[in-house]
Amino acid sequence: MTKYIIQKTDSLKSSLDSHRPFPDHVVKQLRDYYRIGLTYTSNAIEGNTLTESETKVVIEDGLTIGGKSLREHYEVLGHAKAYDYIYSLLDREITEEDVLLLHKLFFEQIDSENAGRYRQRNVIITGTDYLPPDYHEVPELMKKCLENLNGIDKDKHPLELASDLHAEFEAIHPFIDGNGRIGRLLLSILTMKNGYCPVIIPPIRRAEYITAMQKSNKGDLITLRIFILSVIYEEMKSLKKVVESLVK
């Protein structure tokens, strides 16, 4: 199953590669497009009720949306800042400082005390029986996670590796809050480093994603791989159409 999806995805990547390097105007439009798309979908998965069009208004026009909470606005603005930072990480190794800064950029207006620092207490994840590691273990586990993020596993396709590393990060659950959004940004960094699209998980597939994540916590990485690969494949199809329309 994964081999078949990978083959189809790599075929799309080959088509896109024929247009690289993309013209500057294409790069800018894609970057702006994914700032909205990633921010909206990643926040929606966590329960943020701002629509995609409202997310765009908050980010690009600096306006507030009536009836929506301050936290929801801060989540949008913080995620957009963290998204902008990921482009500085595409051509170098990801450090612990980078991960902490990503979290600080996202979380600072929501909880300045805990923004940019690992959790200082044990937590539970609602809706699951999985218990994240003791908070004392987080720094060492993150050190190993970063070694894996920056390493190369020749036995796995880059997209399979990205999915497995996403599972590893989420299992550590290093922050008091915002783990899903930072984890999905790191996932997109890994796919983009290898020439694929960012990973946009449609809110309509939220339950599927959560189920796959819960299974990964119990040692089943295949379900999450298949899910992530299917999401990337669909987005690669969309990206191919967009790029071909822009480079004409």
Give the residue numbers marked as catalytic: 173
Residue 159 contacts by C-beta under 8 Å, 6 or more apart in sequence? 6, 9, 191, 194, 196, 225, 228, 229, 232
Tokens of 67: 């009836």
Which residue bears the tokens 């218990």?
Answer: 131
What are the φ and ψ backbone dihedral angles of 176, each rounded to 5 degrees? -65, -30
How many helices (H) and strands (E) in the chain? 10, 0
Q: Which residue from 66, 33, 25 is spatially nearest to 52, judged by alpha carbons?
A: 33
Number of C-beta neighbours around residue 247 at 10 A: 12
If we measure between CA atoms, which residue out of 57, 52, 54, 79 comes closest to residue 188?
Answer: 79
How far is the C-alpha of 172 from the C-alpha of 203, rounded, in Å?
Answer: 24
Q: Find where tokens 């590669």 sit.
A: 17
What are the backbone angles phi and psi of residue 231, rounded to the nearest 5°?
-65, -45
CA distance 73 to 175: 20
